Every structure is written in structure tokens, then in C-alpha cells.
Structure 1
Amino acid sequence: MIRKPTLYLMCGLPGSGKTTLAKRLEQDAPALRLTPDEWMIPLYGEGIGEPDTIVRWNDAHDRVERIQWQIAERALQLGMNVVLDFGVWSREEREDFRTRAAGVGARSELILLDEPLDVLKTRVKARNSATGEAAYPISEAELERWHAVFQPPSRDELEPRE
């Protein structure tokens, strides 16, 4: 029996360990890993992460995610596993990606990385100060706002879907 390709959806806030685990899955599954933050500076330049460019950052990030989904969809159609390192903070967004995956004959798995807010703050602060890190610098206030709107998945969402 041929196994269907799998869409792995990384779910969690910044600093939860999504990209670290996504890199491991990329090797172990094996899978095509798509991480939007890694494309932002190469496509839009160093200044895209500055505080006065947040509107541009959000617009650019949305564009990158749309393009990455097109790539993911084609890879799934070709029988490849895919890791989407998008965060998927709402049930609606998670269901949308899972429905799209099913539409091309792929299974899906939602992988939750859930860390306490104090751990996220520590990790994001370290990431913000790391040289060569290609990620948007996140303030503590932003992280607190995002933590408040994050919708943790229900138990049923964590079940793989064939």
C-alpha cells in the first residue's frame, strides 16, 4: 500500500520551537520545509524587520505564505511530505490548510508546540539579540498580545487526518 503524502502543520507562537522541530521533521519524514521568516530578508531586504515597517512586514509575510502554500500544494500532489512552519494560530486557519491538503489527496498532522508565556519571552529575547537571525524582532508587548489571541487546538484537531 502506498502511503499518502503528509502535510505537517506546525502550530504555536514565536519561541515555541516550531522551526527547530520543523527542521528535524524535514530530515526525518523526509519533507519539504517551508518557513516564511527564512524568505523575508532575502526577498525584501534587511530593513523589512524594522519597527516602522510592520505594515510592510505583514503584507510581505502574507505574500510569502501564499507562495509557499502554492509550492506545498504542488509538492503534495507530487507525493512529497511538506512541513508548513506557519504557526496557524486559529482553528479556522488550521482547518483551511487541512481541507486544502485533503483536496489534493494528502493526509495532515497538526503538531502543537505549547510553551508558557515566560518561556516564550525568554526565547524570543534571545532570538532578537542573536546575530544573523533572519526573523522579525518581536517585542514583549507583541508576544503578550499574540498569546492572548492564540487559539490552542482542541484534542480532536491533534488527531492525524487521512
Structure 2
Amino acid sequence: MVGLPGSGKTTRARALAARTGALRLTPDEWQTRLFDDDMHHPDHDRRHDEIEAIMWEIAAHILQCGGDVILDFGFWTRAERADFAARAAALGATCQIRFDDVPLDELERRVAARNQDEGGHFVIPIEVLRNWARVFEAPDADELEGRFGG
């Protein structure tokens, strides 16, 4: 699942997991369960990285056993997507991208609405979302066709 907060990644991941039986791994769900809304905690990024590392270990095991995994990580950069595609290939698995190109104004609207809901997610200031949007690299046609890093 590729995209910024509010792009519908987790909603699509849930539906895909229900339809296919694939294991869905969503770091934000684990992080909020373990640490509540720690978005502004100094250890937030370290915690998030550790959760993703543990999830990859689980995913690698499932892939080695022939199962399917949905990584709901966001994958904001081409380099990160190429890295995980190579990891999957090394295990004999293939990587597919699921991405909806949602305009920034719609992402802002969705995140602002979600910020009003209680619990179960991070409150993301709109200016932070805008900063993240400047870093995000949308997948190109090659990536969408399953060709990574080339």
C-alpha cells in the first residue's frame, strides 16, 4: 500500500485482506495500541521503525511459507519501494503496488475529519501532512507494472 495519510491505504488493505486471506500488517495500528497517540513523542519515529522491522520479519516468514502479505507501510519513496521489492524477490515473492493518487486538498480534508475522531489513530496536523506531501514520491508507470529500481 503506497500513499500518504488519508489516501485510503488501510481501508483498501482491509478489503484486500478480507477478499484474499492475505496477512495485513498496518504499523499505525500496532503503534497506537502500544503507545496511544505518540506522534509528538521524541521516540515516535524510532518506535515506528522498530514496529516495521518486526512486521517485515513476520512478513518474510509468511512469504517463505508461500503466503501473501499486505504491507500497509505507506512506502513514500521509490528507494524504499525498490528495497522491499528486492527483499520480496529474494524470498521468491513478487511485489504489487496499490496506490490511489488522491489530491492534497482531499488528503487534508480527510485527515482533518479523522483528527476529530476519538482514539485509534494519530492526530496529524495539516502542516505536517503538507510537509510529508513534499517528500512523497508517487509511483511511476514502471513501479505500477511491477518493475522496481530500474
TM-score of Structure 1 vs Structure 2, range by shorter chain: over 0.9
Question: Which of 4, 22, 30 is the matching residue for 2:21?
Answer: 30
TM-score scaled by length of structure 2: 0.93
TM-score scaled by length of structure 1: 0.86
SS in 2 for 1:148: helix
Write out per-residue CA displacement over residues 21-60 of structure 1, whole angstroms, 9 at most, x where no aligned residue: 000110112200000010012223x3524x3x1x311111
CA distance in 1, matches of 2:32, 2:121: 8
Superposed displacement of residue 135, structure 1: 1.8
SS in 2 for 1:86: coil
CA distance in 2, matches of 1:26, 1:160: 20
AA matched with 1:95: A
Find out whether 1:40 has 2:31 as its counterpart: yes
Contact 2:97/2:143 (8 A) holds in 1: yes
Aligned residues: 147
Q: What RMSD in Å do the two structures reach over aligned CA positions? A: 1.2
Contact 2:37/2:122 (8 A) holds in 1: no
Superposed displacement of residue 131, structure 1: 1.6
Partner of 1:140: 126
Superposed displacement of residue 160, structure 1: 3.3
Find out whether 1:98 has 2:50 as its counterpart: no
AA matched with 1:157: E
Superposed displacement of residue 128, structure 1: 1.1
Matches within 5 A, 1:1-162: 10-44=1-35, 46=36, 48-49=38-39, 51=40, 53=41, 55-132=42-119, 134-160=120-146
- Structure 1: segments with no counterpart, 5+ residues: 1-9
AA matched with 2:126: E
Closer, same or farther: CA 25–130 of 1 in aligned 2, 3 Å? same
Partner of 1:7: none
Contact 2:108/2:126 (8 A) holds in 1: yes
CA distance in 2, matches of 1:89, 1:156: 16
CA distance in 2, matches of 1:69, 1:158: 21
